[in-house]
């Protein structure tokens, strides 16, 4: 986990990235044709250094107070989530100019130091953000860290209580399971049928039908016993078709288990157990 100091450095790093982006945007906005004479055999600077210096010099001539660059930088920081006061300063020919002359830079953090040189002509460019802002963000980080730790502890407590309740529910559910056949159990409260280490969760009408079979004497349920699950409350061909359809689906879900639902012609169904398979 990073410390407050590391977080402070991360803020300054993001502020520096925003400054680089502001410089690139200014360069794109003020792009113009510049004609220079360059002789590589005599030059003490590379062509890239000369072009970079020339671009900055042209930008300063167009925006001598650097308020345009300051505005772009402020917008970039705001977009990044840091809506703070900014300042830009540059030194050229021994003279320093600040985008906000009345601002005390001793209360500001320098976040970018750019040097552009050509022969003996050097331009130094600097961006600033308030020191108080960086410390405030660091303080917010410390509070956030405390809240995070508190949330983790609270989450652990909730998890522990939930787990404890689940274990209690499982223990209560285990005590409510009904033995139906050898090594087969039916948990009507959760709709879980277990047999020889395998289990399946039944839901909806399948759960209701299976529970009705288990509760019925000799595991035999008549069509009339299933009418309680239908609003018609009347045994019609349509109702019988619905019952048969649900039973077919239930049979498919129980296919992997040593049980079978046998139809009683024209009357209902019986839940039977495959004794030879259960004995293995």
pLDDT tens across 80-124, in order? 888 888 999 999 988 999 999 988 888 888 887 889 888 778 999
User: What is the C-alpha separation between 97 and 155, in angstroms, rounded?
Assistant: 54
Whether residues 131 and 185 share a domain: the answer is no
Q: How many whole angstroms separate alpha carbon 153 and alpha carbon 12?
A: 31
The CATH number given to whatever domain includes residue 207 is 1.10.10.10
pLDDT at 171: 47
Helix (H, G, I), strand (E, B) or coil at 153: helix
Residue ending a domain, among 137, 169, 195, is 137
Query: Which among 114, 137, 160 is the end of a domain?
Result: 137
Is 150 a domain residue? no
Position 15 scores a pLDDT of: 87
For residue 58, how many other CB atoms are within 10 A of its CB? 15
- Retrieve residue 66's tokens: 């650097």
Distance of CA 134 to the CA centre of its chain: 27
pTM attached to this predicted model? 0.45
3-state secondary structure of 223: helix
Residues (pLDDT < 70) of the chain are: 1-7, 31-41, 43, 132-151, 153-157, 160, 164-176, 275-280
* Domain span including residue 55: 4-137
Could you read off the pLDDT of 223-239 as tens digits, one per residue?
999 988 988 778 889 89
Helices marked H in the chain — which ranges? Answer: 4-29, 47-62, 67-79, 131-176, 204-215, 237-253, 275-278
Number of structural domains (the chain) is 2
**What pLDDT sits at residue 103?**
86
Q: What are the CB-based long-range contacts (under 8 Å, 24+) for 108-116? A: 109/12, 109/15, 109/134, 111/12, 111/15, 111/16, 111/19, 112/15, 112/16, 112/19, 112/20, 114/23, 114/56, 116/49, 116/52, 116/53, 116/56, 116/57
Which pair of tokens denotes residue 87?
A: 């300042």
């Amino acid at each position: 986990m990073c410390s407050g100091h590391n977080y402070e450095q991360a803020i300054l790093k993001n502020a520096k990235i925003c400054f680089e982006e502001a410089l690139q945007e200014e360069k794109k906005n003020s792009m113009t044709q510049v004609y220079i004479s360059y002789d590589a055999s005599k030059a003490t600077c590379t062509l890239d250094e000369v072009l970079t210096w020339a671009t900055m010099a042209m930008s300063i001539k167009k925006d001598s107070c650097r308020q345009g660059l300051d505005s772009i930088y402020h917008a970039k920081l705001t977009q990044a989530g840091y809506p703070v006061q900014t300042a830009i300063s540059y030194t050229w020919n021994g003279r320093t100019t600040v985008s906000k002359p009345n601002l005390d830079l001793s209360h500001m953090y320098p976040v970018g130091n750019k040097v552009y040189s050509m022969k003996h002509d050097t331009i130094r460019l600097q961006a600033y953000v308030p020191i108080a802002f960086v410390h405030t963000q660091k303080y917010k980080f410390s509070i956030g860290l405390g809240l995070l730790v508190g949330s983790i502890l609270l989450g652990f407590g909730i998890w522990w209580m939930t787990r404890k309740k689940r274990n209690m529910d499982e223990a209560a559910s285990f005590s409510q399971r009904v033995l139906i056949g050898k090594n087969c159990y039916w948990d009507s409260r959760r709709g879980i049928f277990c047999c020889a280490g395998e289990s399946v969760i039944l839901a909806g009408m399948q759960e209701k039908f299976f529970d009705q079979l288990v509760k019925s004497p000799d595991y035999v349920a008549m069509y009339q016993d299933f009418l309680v699950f239908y609003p018609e409350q009347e045994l019609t061909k349509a109702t019988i078709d619905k019952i048969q359809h649900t039973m077919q689906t239930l049979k498919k879900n129980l296919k992997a288990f040593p049980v079978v639902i046998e139809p009683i012609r024209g009357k209902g169904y019986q839940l039977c157990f495959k004794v030879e398979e259960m004995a293995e």
